[in-house]
Amino acid sequence: MRLSQYLITTSKEVPKEAKCISHKLMLRAGLIMRFAAGIYSYLPLGYRVLAKVTSIIEEEMNQVGAHQLLLPFVQPAELWKKSGRWGNYGEELVRFKDRKEADFVLGPTHEELITQLMKHQINSYKRLPLTVYQIQTKFRDEPRPRAGVIRTKEFLMKDAYSFCQSEKEQMTIYEKMKQAYERIFSRCLLNYRLVEADTGPIGGERSDEFIALAPLGEDRIVECEECEYVAKLEKADTGFPTSGDRCPLCKSKIRIKRGIEIGHLFWLGEKYSRSLKATFLDRMGKERYFVMGSYGIGVSRLLAAIIEQNHDEEGIIWPKEIAPFQAAIIATSPETFKVAQEIYLRLRRGGLDILWDDRDLSPGVKFNDADIIGIPFKIIIGNTFLKESKIEIKTRREKTTVKVKKDVVFQKMKELVQNAK
């Protein structure tokens, strides 16, 4: 991609409304644009990152045998009334009437719809267990949207749902999903904790949250300095502890840490299948209710969590799998422009995802833009090439530099990308 032909707008100024580092950097790097409180547009750079995160999630969901589908964003209120959530979900649920006075909601989640769908699609134990998922826009009328895309009204979410014939079968699926989430968050280079959580408006019998550690995160967890004890502050065995208190398991000191919820697992049991009368026939021909699970990932929120943990004074440091581009090519003078074009075409033909900064701007501006955006490598054709016939490749994360001849740039880049974090 040639930068002169790409919709990228970076900024040196720190937006006044941005308080947390991820919000500041997403605005400065030109990833998002705010339209209203809690409502953001993803610009081309931001959408590329979002698409790569989505691809990782799809790969891991498909790996555990989940089937992707797409459910309606607008949902009939009838199903919510049957489940009991029409009246008790709260003001975050946007309710409205169509021109025929029928009640509908904007989907904040999809337990009712997927249960109704499976009620009509699955009638025998022979087709169980089954897990389906979607990646789709959700809407919750948050009273206080804040922290950029961490707490918004409209957001992108991956929600999966499992349907089983027994609790034993459901436990197997629950553990598979937990392991899939661990792989997803590890590929995103996230430092996270898995903690027991409340079921909230989703309901069910059990709930576990994945929390990405971040100083300005909304969630607070208790963690032992020595053993593996970790819990959300409100669910800690010691009541409402403070840093320095003793661990309930090993009596070592505990610490209070903040974080961002990035994933949630729910053991729903028969909550929705009973209320919506979703049944199947077991081996004996007896009608039974589905045992269900629900599994969510805040896809758009993941970008903020990753930035909170991967940045420096210059800007974002994206993990290689989700960076908008793998490398930026920068020529520092008109004399090296043609060489930059040759390298750009060679790397593109070789399958690398390259951004060529071909703008008529100073090298400093180009370097700063590549750093604020978070591109993992800068390929620089400048004075070193004119003097030594060598091209510099600088790594964003480690801040190291290697010098190579023009004819080995492609091979070196493949090696660097493969070994990068």
What are the structural domain ranges in the chain?
10-219+256-312, 325-419
233 pLDDT band (50/70/90 cuts)?
confident
Give residue-wise pLDDT tens across range 68-108: 999 999 999 999 999 999 998 989 999 999 999 999 999 99
Q: Does pTM surpass 0.75? A: yes
Give residue-wise pLDDT tens across range 4-24: 999 989 998 888 888 899 999
Rounded mean pLDDT, 317-340:
94
pLDDT (0 to 100) of residue 365:
95
Give me the chain's average pLDDT, please: 94
238 pLDDT band (50/70/90 cuts)?
low
Q: Which fold has domain 10-219+256-312?
A: BirA Bifunctional Protein; domain 2 (3.30.930)
What SS3 string covers the chain?
A: CEHHHCCCCCCCCCCCCCCCHHHHHHHHCCCEEEEECCEEEECHHHHHHHHHHHHHHHHHHHHCCCEECCCCCEEEHHHHHHHCHHHHCCCCCCEEECCCCCEEEECCCCHHHHHHHHHHHCCEHHHCCEEEEEEEEEECCCCCCECCCCECCEEEEEEEEEEECCHHHHHHHHHHHHHHHHHHHHHCCCCEEEEECCCHHHCCCEEEEEEEECCCCCEEEEEECCCCCEEEHHHCCCCCCCCCCECCCCCCEEEEEEEEEEEEEEEEECHHHHHCCCEEECCCCCEEECEEEEEEEEHHHHHHHHHHHCEECCEECCCCCCCCCCEEEEECCHHHHHHHHHHHHHHHHCCCCEEEECCCCCHHHHHHHHHHHCCCEEEEECHHHHHHCEEEEEECCCCCEEEEEHHHHHHHHHHHHHHCC
Give residue-wise pLDDT tens across range 249-287: 898 999 999 999 999 999 999 999 999 999 999 999 999
- CATH number, domain 325-419: 3.40.50.800
Percentage of the chain lying above the pLDDT 70 cut: 98
